[in-house]
Amino acid sequence: MEDKTNYFTRTLICIFSICLALMVAYNYLYVEPIGAIKDGNLIIIFLILILILSESFDSFSIGKIISISRKLKEKNDEVEKLESKNSQLLSQVISLTTNQNQVQSSKQIFGDYYERPKKQKKIDNEKVVRELLDRIGTSIVISDLESSIKKEIIQQGLEISTETETVLIRHLAGTQLLMEFLRIDKYIFGSQLNLLKELAEIKPEGYTKNEIEEYFESVKQSFPNSFNNWDVKKYLGFLFSSILITKNDEKIHLTNFGQEYIDWVAENRANDYRSL
C-alpha cells in the first residue's frame, strides 16, 4: 500500500529551510567581514541543500536513515532466526530419511537371510548327463585320462562329487586327447604312420626286431637323402615318446593310444598322403 504524503511535515521543512537561508543571507550581508562566507554559513548551506534534495526526491531524511537502520537490523535478526529454523528442519528431514532407509534395508536383509529356502524341483539329470558324456565317447585312453585328471584334482585337496564335474572331466579328457592327436599329426612321418597302420592290422601280434629293421631299411632306401644318418632307434624314438608303440616280449606293439590315433586319422581322413 502506498504511503500518503505528509504535507504538514513538508511545510515545516520548507519554513525551516527559508529561515536558514535568511540567516545565511543576513550573516553574508550584515555581519563582519561583509561578503565573506563563514564556516557556520557553510554548514547551514549544506543542511539546506540536504533538506531541498530530500523534498525533491522524497527519498532522504534523517528519520528515514534511522528507521531503515532499525528495520535492517530487525530483518537480519529475522533472517538468522529463519536460517536457524531451516537448519533444524533440514537436520530432522535428513534424520528421518536415514532412519527410513535403515528400516527398509533391515527389512530387506532380514528377508534375504531368513527367507525359507525354496524346495527345488527334482530333475532327473541322468539322461542329460549321459548325452553330454556320449558326445566325447569312452575308451580305454579316455578312461585313463579321466583317472589321471581326477587323481590330480584330489591331490590338490579338491573334491569331485557332482554330475557337472564328471561331465567337465570327460570333456577335458577328450580335449587333451584331441590336442595330443593334433600335435602328433603335425610331426609324424608318412612312413611312421604306415608302420602304425601295419601294426594295427596284425594286432595283437607285433613286429619283431628283424621285421622292424627290414621296414626301416626299405624306408631308408626310398628316402636316402632324408634318412642317410638315421638308425632304427632314432626312427622309432618319436613313436615311443608319443606312446604310440611299446616293446613287449621282444616285439614292437601298437598301444591303445596308438590305435585311437589311427582310428582318429581314418575318421578325419587326415594324412592320407604324406612324404617320408
Report the CATH number at residue 257: 1.10.10.10
Please write the tens of the pLDDT for every residue from 53-73. Answer: 665 555 545 555 566 667 777
Pair (46, 96) in one structural domain? no
Say what the alpha-carbon torsion angle 28, 31, 34, 35 is, to the nearest 10 degrees: -10
44: in domain: yes
Per-residue DSSP letters for 1-14? -PPPP-HHHHHHHH
71: in domain: yes
Pair (25, 55) in one structural domain? yes
203: in domain: yes
The amino acid sitting at 158 is: L
Pair (195, 173) in one structural domain? no
38: in domain: yes
Q: Is 253 helix (H, G, I), strand (E, B) or coil?
A: strand
Full domain range(s) for residue 132: 126-182
Pair (262, 195) in one structural domain? yes
Cα separation of 36 and 216, whole Å?
Answer: 146
Q: Which of 165, 182, 199 is the last residue of a domain?
A: 182
Query: Who contacts 60 (Cβ-Cβ below 8 Å, separation ≥6)?
Result: 50, 53, 54
Pair (79, 97) in one structural domain? yes
121: in domain: no
Pair (206, 245) in one structural domain? yes
Pair (135, 169) in one structural domain? yes
Pair (171, 224) in one structural domain? no
Global pTM reads 0.51
Pair (226, 261) in one structural domain? yes
2: in domain: no
Pair (165, 145) in one structural domain? yes
Q: Which of 115, 137, 156 is the last residue of a domain?
A: 115
276: in domain: no
Which regions of the chain are under pLDDT 50? 1-2, 60, 103-115, 120-122
Cα separation of 227 and 246, whole Å?
Answer: 22
Instruction: Give the chain's domain count.
Output: 4
274: in domain: no
Q: Which of 36, 60, 84 is the last residue of a domain?
A: 60
Pair (23, 87) in one structural domain? no
Query: Who contacts 205 (Cβ-Cβ below 8 Å, separation ≥6)?
Result: 251
Cα separation of 232 and 216, whole Å?
Answer: 6
Start-to-end CA distance of the chain, whole Å, equals: 117
Pair (178, 132) in one structural domain? yes
